[in-house]
Structure 1
């Protein structure tokens, strides 16, 4: 048995075209990210000012532990629901059983080793926070199938409601508990309560995803598909969070708090642009996977427009790091600027990498992805250690940029070339946005050094970044025509996932 059974699947969108479904889903996804990020910005600022770097560092220690086990939580099988060509409900019971049983085993193991982990991170007092956060592991496994069904069906409107309940309830509860003096535990409690309520909504919208069962004949193909992704996700986690592990273990929880705040701030463009696209792109790419010309054309166009919209914002954060952090979070967080100056550039690379990752997953290049993550991790760890010991959190952030540019980007380009998408065509779409971002960085640096006051420096830099992004996106007069052509191609193809 193969993961993709033969036979043409029935279109899930009825008479609606893929383009219309994906466009609506992407619109809701972008709105979701916008409201989630900016709607809770004030609460995040208040929490940072109330708790300070040390408490944030303790919470970061707990979050790293949770994300570590989440990366391997359901063995990667839930994504099979998104790209299964037949009726996905056939595999849901087996996927749900695998997800939940795996998470329970991981929960027990992680709970037992938590004291050892927190001691290694230099923050033994974080043990209780870590153990509470691990509850999210079980919650995540329960909604793996409902969430995958929702993604497959482009139900981003409902996903927005789920995410908003999760974010708002968690953030408001954390703020109230922080005012009451619970410190880092307030963040953990808020996150767990928000995730539980979000899980209940997932199950409400997609009750079919909560069916348990086990079809032994499906287990092998599901694991053959999922295990490479789970292994890759674990390596992705290690590569993505090695910086925080190194910062915490070598520099202590307070410096980790500074670094995490800078990383979170640099992640704003990723959250606003990359994550909404990732909620839609895999299913849309999957339906075009049998038409190479349409698929590669769509990928080239998307990567170019995404870079044009995001690179100026990322380079703005790098160039105006000091004024932005002091203005938003206060003078006590000023040391975080040394890391943000590098992490803003790294955010631009992350946006491109995440899009390419999803594209390669759809084309079943899971071994190639896994190989890239392994090489990334092997190159990154010594660079992070060297950077941390020599230059503190600034060195950790700089190591991220150097390894991403010198090692990871070329490897991803090689993998794209093997799928029929030449590296030159991808780089060609990135050159102009990169130059535009570099101009914004230079302008922001000059504004930070010459314009009086943090507000004036940040505002002038933001205006420059906004104007540059708009010019880059609109410079291609064929954008509308290309959108129509992509819509026509998608409409003419059979609807496949």
Structure 2
């Protein structure tokens, strides 16, 4: 099958996976938010940074290292990664288990000890899927991953809703995450049908760790950069404030991730397979940035325009303080997908050393912004995130700009039509009255889509012309 057809098929399944599972998971957490309130989400938000840090150490670098080697992965490579991860996963959980009382003391929330010791089981569970996910990704088999994730989402969501309705509070959210991870892991193993052998290769470990260790450390630093806001809110404020910020973060993240992560997940193994063909690689790189901005920019800014309506309808008045935070984080996320693509191409080229250097450069920026923002509450911290996101974008784009002649300013230049169309769309939507009704919200979304599409058509955008041609071709015979 030609590479283009493989990529389109893989993207279709990856997009379906994200659409069903990320948006489905979002719907469940929104429903749970109405039942269990901001405090429960705040408890989970306080622990998220520790879970993500452990996960970045255990699996962050090796999965990318295996995919980067693509067709050269051997059985020794796979077995070595599996057993190393198994050991690290157990060690990390043991450390977190022992540290749970100190984490609870740091936040002055005694109940976090019990929550942490259950929630951190996700770290061990995820270690078992690194190799099998890498194998399916290398084969561009996103269909199996989509099916496994969908089954896991449905069953874990049913369990969480039942627990919430029966008054288990934050435990519903804890078991949603643990059961989803466990079921997805079981499903991935079922489809991959790979069993590890009792092998350990020092040569494989050295080669994979040489690349993966830099990504692992970079992932560790990036996790601190991206989650330090929530951790410090939990320290200086209360669980309710953490809940508001966590829910706003989740909503803004889900919006862009189901498109951006689908594109990046599919194109990463493709870019690694053609990394020697510089012209073709750069062509895919530019198209990926253009397509990502086409979709993510209006989605995020459009959502910020209807954020108050959405919160009022789906979460209730108890969650209204999250609205200004959500608006700010939507603005911050507009450049996050492009930053991720810039980092992705460095991985594809095997430059994990530059990847690490970039993430280390962003850490002092985040710390400085937090220092000045903490006194201004969660809204101040959210707008500090906007500033750091845009600074991070130019840092992330610097090295790809030197390597391929396509830096931050050039990337913004190709997004100008999307920026113009998005600004016009937002201006119109912001003038419409707020009405807490699903029908009114759907009407605003429809108006926004029509305005955005019409402006792009008038500006002669290439993607809108391609989409229009596909529509005419599809309905020509009707």
TM over 0.5: yes
Deviates most, 162-171 or 393-402: 162-171
Given that 1:246 and 1:385 are in contact with CA atoms closer than 8 Å, whether structure 2 keeps it comes out as no
Aligned-pair Cα RMSD in Å: 2.1
Q: Does 1:348 align with 2:351?
A: no
- Displacement of 1:37 in angstroms is 3.3
Q: Taking structure 1 as reference, are residues 473 and 236 closer, same or farther at Cα in structure 2, changes over 3 Å only?
A: farther
Where do 5+ consecutive residues of structure 2 fail to align?
468-478
CA distance in 2, matches of 1:42, 1:237: 25
1:491 corresponds to: none
Q: Taking structure 1 as reference, are residues 465 and 385 closer, same or farther at Cα in structure 2, changes over 3 Å only?
A: farther
User: Which of 59, 67, 82 is 1:82 aligned to?
Assistant: 67
CA distance in 1, matches of 2:309, 2:191: 43
Map 1:376-415 to 2 at 5 A. 376-390=362-376, 392-405=377-390, 407-415=391-399
CA distance in 2, matches of 1:177, 1:452: 32
Q: Taking structure 1 as reference, are residues 428 and 204 closer, same or farther at Cα in structure 2, changes over 3 Å only?
A: same
Q: Taking structure 1 as reference, are residues 235 and 42 closer, same or farther at Cα in structure 2, changes over 3 Å only?
A: closer
1:419 corresponds to: 403
CA distance in 2, matches of 1:38, 1:137: 23
Given that 1:145 and 1:209 are in contact with CA atoms closer than 8 Å, whether structure 2 keeps it comes out as no
User: Which of 415, 425, 431 is 1:440 aligned to?
Assistant: 425
- Displacement of 1:456 in angstroms is 6.6
- Displacement of 1:175 in angstroms is 1.0
Q: Does 1:213 align with 2:218?
A: no
1:466 corresponds to: 449
Number of positions where the alignment pairs a residue of Structure 1 with one of Structure 2: 463
CA distance in 2, matches of 1:384, 1:98: 36
State the Cα deviation string for residues 87-106 of structure 1 (Å, max 9, x = none).
44341011111111111111
Where do 5+ consecutive residues of structure 1 fail to align?
1-15, 483-497
- Displacement of 1:290 in angstroms is 0.8
- Displacement of 1:177 in angstroms is 0.9
State the Cα deviation string for residues 421-462 of structure 1 (Å, max 9, x = none).
322432222222222222233233222xx4555657634441
1:337 corresponds to: 323
Given that 2:225 and 2:363 are in contact with CA atoms closer than 8 Å, whether structure 1 keeps it comes out as yes
CA distance in 1, matches of 2:152, 2:360: 33
Deviates most, 124-133 or 330-339: 124-133
Q: Taking structure 1 as reference, are residues 54 and 453 closer, same or farther at Cα in structure 2, changes over 3 Å only?
A: closer
CA distance in 1, matches of 2:434, 2:79: 60
Q: Does 1:52 align with 2:37?
A: yes
Given that 1:122 and 1:252 are in contact with CA atoms closer than 8 Å, whether structure 2 keeps it comes out as no
Given that 1:304 and 1:429 are in contact with CA atoms closer than 8 Å, whether structure 2 keeps it comes out as yes
Deviates most, 340-349 or 470-479: 470-479
- Displacement of 1:469 in angstroms is 4.7
CA distance in 2, matches of 1:87, 1:106: 26
- Displacement of 1:354 in angstroms is 1.5
User: Which of 45, 55, 69 is 1:70 aligned to?
Assistant: 55
- Displacement of 1:137 in angstroms is 0.9
1:145 corresponds to: 131
Q: Taking structure 1 as reference, are residues 472 and 92 closer, same or farther at Cα in structure 2, changes over 3 Å only?
A: farther
CA distance in 1, matches of 2:464, 2:353: 34
- What secondary structure, in the 3-state scheme, does the structure 2 residue paired with 1:348 have? coil
- What secondary structure, in the 3-state scheme, does the structure 1 residue paired with 2:140 have? coil
CA distance in 2, matches of 1:345, 1:431: 16
CA distance in 2, matches of 1:466, 1:325: 20
Q: Does 1:20 align with 2:5?
A: yes
- What secondary structure, in the 3-state scheme, does the structure 2 residue paired with 1:210 have? coil
Map 1:249-288 to 2 at 5 A. 249-288=235-274
- Displacement of 1:75 in angstroms is 6.1
State the Cα deviation string for residues 99-121 of structure 1 (Å, max 9, x = none).
11111111111111111122223
State the Cα deviation string for residues 360-413 of structure 1 (Å, max 9, x = none).
1111222222222222221112312422312x11111100111121x2122122
Given that 2:82 and 2:196 are in contact with CA atoms closer than 8 Å, whether structure 1 keeps it comes out as yes
Given that 1:25 and 1:155 are in contact with CA atoms closer than 8 Å, whether structure 2 keeps it comes out as yes
Given that 1:269 and 1:314 are in contact with CA atoms closer than 8 Å, whether structure 2 keeps it comes out as yes
User: Which of 190, 193, 213 is 1:227 aligned to?
Assistant: 213
CA distance in 2, matches of 1:473, 1:26: 24
